[in-house]
Every structure is written in C-alpha cells, then in structure tokens.
C-alpha cells in the first residue's frame, strides 16, 4: 500500500502518458500533480505556485499531501523532487533507445510541425542519448521501480504488486497500437543511430537485465535489491545496495576472475543517498578492497542470497590514475 506519494519521471515516448492516465483512473480526479515545465498547460497550479522562481520543496510537499495527491508526474525536471519523495517512491519507464527515438521523431512530425528527415532529426544533439541525459546525475538503478515500454503490461503488474495498488492498463497518446511492435529502420540509419546513442543503449541493456532479475525473483518469491557499483577510488571499488522488502543490510558476494573472494556488507553511510531518501537512513554503501588484484582483473559483485548481479558488475579493475 502506497503511504507517501509516488514520483513518476516521465521519459517522452515510453508509454508514460498511458501510465499517468491509468494512475489518474485508479487514484481519482485531482490525485495526480503534473510538472511539465512552467510554460506547459499541463503543469498543475500547485507546482506553479510553489515551484516557480523561488521554489520551496518542503512547503510544496506539505501542500501536496494536504490535497491528498498520490503521484507527481513530469518530464526530466521532475528529478529535482527526489529529496522529498525518496528513491523508493520514484518510478520510471525506459524504452529501447532507437525505437524511442523513431517514435519521438514521428510525434514531432505529427504534432510539432517538424518537416525535416529522420536523419536530420537524429543527428541533432538534443535528441541524442535522451534517456541517458535525463538520468545522468541520478542513480536510476536505485529507483523504487524501473519498467520497460516493450513489456508494459508486465511492468504494470510488477509495479502494482510492489506498491499494493491497481493502476489499470490503458493505452493513450500512442503513435501505434502495439507497444511491442518495432519500427523498421534502414540499415545504414540503424547503424548510425546505434553509434550515436551507444551509451544510452548500454544503459537500456542494464535496465533490461535488472528487469529480468526482478521478474525471476518475483516468480520465485525472493527479494529484489536495487544496487550498483558506482566507482573506483584508489584501492577500493565503491557501491551501494538497497533491500526492497527488508531493513537488513544486504550481504554481497565478491568474485575476481571467476574465483570467490569473500563477502561484504552494504551498511556504510552514504550522505548523498540519504539526502535522496535511500532506505536504512543512507546506511547502504560498501567498499571492496582491490589492493591485491592486478589491473585488468574482472570483479563481480552479486547479492549473496539470490545471485542477482549489481548494475555495472562485472567491473574491470583499472590501474591508479
């Protein structure tokens, strides 16, 4: 059961409008607050009043709860709300980068009067790696839920189960009837768009892998862990792991070049994660001593109980900068 409002980060052309209308149907009229920018006709009055030139996040949050708002939805600017909603209550939907790009081009052609070719569209920097840009400064693997457009029905079922809600399956604002269908792209354009959006494709592939693990763990009655390897600092690899259905610190198993090297407990304090509402008061971090391993060695980090790998695992150990 949802206690605090949900934050939905709406990536354009990912079935986000369908999700938003479904949420409004379930929670009721007036239950969804919108922030699509100060110039948008869709942005709610409460957002304009408290999140304008002199924003006050705390007062806005109190006003929103007073009005019994159940969800705030918006495009990339909505990440600024993370400190008050918290990572656990933040959800988003991702889509195959190239398919999303084609869909956005068709949307701009239909509704924004865009007249140039698809090639001209995808070569603009503003439309390159769009999903990556939205989450560049934020750890999307730590969000409460990350769904997939191509598996929207399944994503909705998992999200509803996690939060104890019943948002219905609706299809709104779609450029095509089948969410699972794919646009055909000439091979030369496909090759070029894949090169230009390589980093976003990597992000999406990682999201798909984690989604598969979420599905598998759910079917087997096991707990999903939101976690990642976040960086290498001198002789340590840093990371974090947040348990989804428990307040216990996550136990992680470490392997190097395929050989078991021990376990580590994710209970170190991370001030940045606490500031964004991570569970366990921010005591979800860990560090792995790699002083005894050679440059180029491959380190793997997985949840000891289930074998679920963290995002960015395996990690290739680099030498000192």
What CATH code is carried by the domain that includes residue 299?
2.60.40
Walking along the chain (321 residues) 10 residues at a time, the average pLDDT comes out as: 80 94 92 90 91 89 92 83 92 97 94 90 94 83 96 96 94 61 92 97 97 97 95 94 91 97 97 91 96 95 98 90 52
Q: Does 114 lie in the same domain as 210?
A: yes
169, 191, 218: which is the final residue of a domain?
218
Question: Looking up tokens 């900068």, which residue turns up?
Answer: 321
Q: Does 239 lie in the same domain as 256?
A: yes
Q: What is the pLDDT of residue 126?
A: 92
Q: How many domains does the chain have?
A: 2
Q: Does 195 lie in the same domain as 55?
A: yes
Is residue 1 assigned to a domain? no
Q: What is the pLDDT of residue 18?
A: 93
Q: Does 117 lie in the same domain as 51?
A: yes
Is residue 291 assigned to a domain? yes
Q: Does 175 lie in the same domain as 159?
A: yes
Q: What is the pLDDT of residue 1?
A: 46
Q: Does 295 lie in the same domain as 170?
A: no
Q: What is the pLDDT of residue 181?
A: 73
Q: What is the pLDDT of residue 277?
A: 87
Q: Which bin fits 86, alpha (ψ -120 to 50), beta or left (φ > 0)?
A: left
Is residue 321 assigned to a domain? no
> Residue 244: which domain range?
225-316
Give the tokens for residue 315.
Answer: 């990690």
Cα 290 to Cα 123: distance, rounded to the nearest angstrom: 41
184, 218, 252: which is the final residue of a domain?
218
Q: Does 236 lie in the same domain as 214?
A: no
Q: Does 302 lie in the same domain as 265?
A: yes
Judge whether 316 and 298 are in contact, CB under 8 Å: yes
CA separation, residue 11 to residues 29, 96, 159, 172, 278 (Å) = 23, 12, 17, 15, 22
Q: Does 276 lie in the same domain as 194?
A: no
The CATH number of residue 177's host domain is 3.40.50
Judge whether 86 and 278 are in contact, CB under 8 Å: yes
């Amino acid at each position: 059961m949802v206690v605090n409002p949900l934050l939905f980060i709406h990536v354009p052309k990912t079935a986000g409008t369908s999700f938003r209308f479904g949420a409004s149907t379930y929670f009721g009229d007036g239950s969804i607050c919108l922030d699509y920018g100060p110039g948008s006709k869709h942005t709610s009055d409460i957002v304009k009043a408290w999140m304008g030139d002199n924003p006050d996040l705390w007062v806005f949050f109190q006003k929103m709860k007073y009005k019994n708002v159940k969800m705030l939805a918006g495009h990339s600017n909505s990440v600024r709300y993370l400190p008050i909603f918290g990572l656990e209550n933040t959800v988003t939907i991702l889509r195959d980068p190239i398919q999303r790009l084609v869909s956005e081009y068709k949307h701009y052609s239909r509704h924004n009067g865009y007249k140039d070719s698809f090639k001209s569209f995808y070569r603009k920097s503003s439309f390159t790696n769009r999903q990556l840009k939205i989450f560049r400064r934020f750890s999307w693997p730590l969000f409460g839920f990350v769904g997939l457009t191509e598996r929207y029905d399944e994503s909705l079922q998992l999200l509803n189960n996690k939060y104890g809600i019943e948002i219905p399956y609706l299809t709104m604002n779609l450029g095509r009837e089948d969410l699972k269908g794919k646009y055909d792209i000439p091979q030369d354009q496909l090759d070029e768009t894949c090169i230009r959006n390589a980093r976003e494709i990597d992000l999406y592939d990682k999201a798909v892998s984690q989604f598969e693990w979420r599905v598998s763990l759910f079917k087997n009655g096991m707990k999903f862990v939101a976690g990642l390897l976040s960086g290498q600092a001198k002789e340590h690899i840093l990371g974090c792991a947040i348990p989804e259905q428990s307040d216990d610190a996550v136990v992680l198993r470490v392997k190097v070049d395929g050989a078991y090297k021990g376990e580590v407990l994710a209970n170190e304090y991370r001030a940045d994660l606490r500031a964004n509402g991570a569970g366990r008061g921010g005591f979800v971090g860990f560090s792995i001593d790699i002083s005894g391993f050679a440059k180029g060695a491959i380190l793997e980090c997985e949840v000891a109980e289930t074998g679920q790998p963290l995002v960015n695992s395996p990690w290739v150990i680099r030498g000192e900068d």
